[in-house]
Amino acid sequence: MRTVIAGLIGAATLYVGSIAFAQQARQAMPPPAVVVEKVKVEQVSNPARFTARVEAIQAVDIRARVTGFLRSVDFRDGQEVKAGDTLFEIEPDQLEASVASARAQVERAEATRISAERTLARNRDLFARNTVSKAVLDDAQAGFDVAAADVQVAQAALNTAQLNLSYASIKAPISGSIGRATFTVGNLVGPDTGSLARIVGLDPVRVAFTLTEGLLVTVRQQEAGGSTVDPNALKLSLRLANGTDYDQPGRIEFVENEVDPQTGTVAARAIFPNPHHVLIPGQFVTLSVEEKNIPSLPVVPQAAVLQDREGRFIYLLGKDNTVSQRRIDTGARVGNGWAVTAGLNGGEQVVVQGIQRLADGMTVQPSEGQPVGGGS
């Protein structure tokens, strides 16, 4: 029995000693080293991006309205033209002859009308003196009416001939860039020969894109809730095929009022100025749409953010080098960080390295460079 009691006393003494040793070891361990950063407030942009296609607002196929041989082509392929510039000349000789013939017909009809008018005046005078019958007067009146109508017919034919003569000079109906001429001098052209050239207006241009049905519903719900979407409050920008940004801002022109049942999207269009003709109809671009007044929010590095079942959180450095856990709500990605919509104001110091071994209320050894004792 004495031996057993002595053994128990020895074991108890050894256990108490080990506890004391562990406590001393923990007290001797330095606080964990961490790296902290100051939370900065930045303008946070979260643009919606769409694949879009450039379209011409105005495009015209140049056609001949009258038949004739081309006398001249008055532009270079790819040239910039203005509305009213002469593009083609059709030989006018035959058209001028038609005008001269029509003018002669007008003069002849006018002479006949004058003769009929005089005959009618004489018969009215004779009828008043009972020299001719009412039938003769009626015939004279009918002859005058026919002659007057013939004058109108001849004048209409003259107007048509003059109009056709004006069509011999083919002018640009719009301003823009003209393509290549499909016919050269000496070719017979007419209304049935097809397009002679094509003019495309390049300033401004239209950018066509599609909105998803879900995005459109969100916008409509915002409008129904009393918050209006002002197109003037939106900033539209383009990313070109070579990866550069287009230097001209755009504006929303039109949003279709029906959803395409096959694609579940809604057609929309934007207008962009194009003074240097960088944008060419048919090319694809990336359209970014965002608010002009970009909000400013705190931004934390991604490395500082942890997540559990309750959501995302970070560790903040407080007084006496202690850390505390802070729940946050995150928004858009900003570079290598998250925009924080709730939980931070900016200016706080957040732990970005050594975060995995922390606990709420723990004392740490902070630095803004490499962690102390972290090695090289």
Per-residue pLDDT, 292: 63
Peptide bond into 204 cis (omega under 30): yes
> Residue holding tokens 């059709």?
90
> 258-267, long-range: CB within 8 Å, 24+ apart, which pairs?
259/213, 259/216, 260/210, 263/210, 264/212, 264/213, 265/210, 265/211, 265/212, 265/213, 266/210, 266/211, 266/212, 266/213, 266/216, 267/208, 267/210
Fold of 30-45+295-376: 2.40.420
> Residue holding tokens 């359209």?
287
* 11-31 burial: b if 16+ Cβ within 10 Å, else e: eeeeeeeeeeeeeeeeeeeee
Query: Distance from CA of residue 102 to its chain's centroid?
Result: 53
With CA atoms as reference, report the closest residue to 289 among 45, 47, 43: 47
What angle (nearest 5°) sits at the alpha carbon of residue 98, between those of residues 93 and 102?
150
pLDDT in tens, 208-224: 888 766 556 555 555 55
State whether CATH 1.10.287.470 applies to domain 92-167.
yes
Q: In the chain, where are the structural domains located? A: 30-45+295-376, 48-57+202-291, 92-167
Token pair in block for residue 348: 């706080």
Per-residue pLDDT, 233: 58
**What's the predicted TM-score (pTM) here?**
0.56
How confident is the model over 150-166, as a mean pLDDT? Answer: 92
pLDDT in tens, 52-67: 899 888 889 999 999 9
Token pair in block for residue 8: 């128990």
Which CATH number describes the domain made up of 48-57+202-291? 2.40.30.170
Per-residue pLDDT, 232: 58
